[in-house]
Amino acid sequence: MDKKILTIYEEAGIVFPEDEQKKFAIEKTLIYLEELDKWSSRISLISKGDHGHVLDRHFAESLQYSKGIKGISRLIDIGSGAGFPGIPLKIAFPIIHIVFAESQRKRAGFLESALRKMNLSNYEVALGRAEDLSSQKQYHQSFDAATFRSVASLEECLRLGAPFLKNEGLIIVKKEPEVDYQGKEPMFLCNELFFETNDKRKSKIMVFKKRST
């Protein structure tokens, strides 16, 4: 399993040059998988599957977001649910401050438990709807990037995410390759990153940038 975990990160372009970094990624990923197993028997988080399936499907897809977040220091994962893409990104880039925004109390409880068990730092779990959180002073226009995965339509993601962003901030969303949407004020499409998942499904990461005002 250790080798498979490292391979999942490497296939997304994330290489750990130091043994301590490799050990960190393996340890935190295994703890997360164990917590996911425990909580999935009580609440609905993701579709059933063994650890290999979770790595191939959910971790692999989540790590593709890393191609759109280079150089950022503060990120909000909106509708985080079971922690995708936020938790894999947090493991890969522990220095980034990540806010995990989740509207369902039980799922927010899972996130709190998993992150605490992983002994990570520089994060926050925010319980609430995106519309409500974005109006709060500590979250409004305070992030370099926002991520979405399987939360809402593309247009809705842009609407919900924009208030969280600083000028030049990014919204990063995974969509099917055929989706074509250039965005509208204040967000516009600045990059598309195509990839093939480990189970041979074609997909892409769409990166939108907030116009300076």
Bond into 177 cis (ω within 30): no
- Cα 147–137–100 angle (5° rounding)? 30
- Cα 206–98–199 angle (5° rounding)? 45
Averaged pLDDT score across all residues of the chain: 91
Q: Give me the half-sphere count of Cα atoms (radius 13 Å) on the Cβ side of residue 30.
A: 12
pLDDT of amino acid 201:
78
**Confidence class of residue 48 from pLDDT cuts 50, 70 and 90?**
low
What percentage of the chain exceeds 90 in pLDDT? 69
- State the CATH number of the domain containing residue 10: 3.40.50.150
31 is written with which tokens?
A: 């703890």
Q: Strands (DSSP E) along 23-176, which ranges?
A: 74-78, 97-102, 123-127, 143-148, 165-175
pLDDT of amino acid 120:
94
Cβ 89 vs Cβ 147: under 8 Å: yes
Residue-number span of the structural domain to which 16 is assigned: 2-210
**Confidence class of residue 200 from pLDDT cuts 50, 70 and 90?**
confident
pLDDT of amino acid 194:
92
In 3D space, the residue among 153, 169, 206 whose CA is nearest the CA of residue 75 turns out to be 169
Number of domains in the chain: 1
pTM here is: 0.93
The helix/strand/coil state of 116 is helix
Query: What is the mean predicted confidence (pLDDT) over 191-202?
Result: 83
What percentage of the chain exceeds 70 in pLDDT? 96
pLDDT of amino acid 49:
61
pLDDT digit string, tens, across residues 57-111: 889 999 999 988 888 999 999 999 999 999 999 999 999 999 999 999 999 999 9
Query: What is the mean predicted confidence (pLDDT) over 173-179?
Result: 90
Say yes or no to pLDDT of 135 above 80: yes
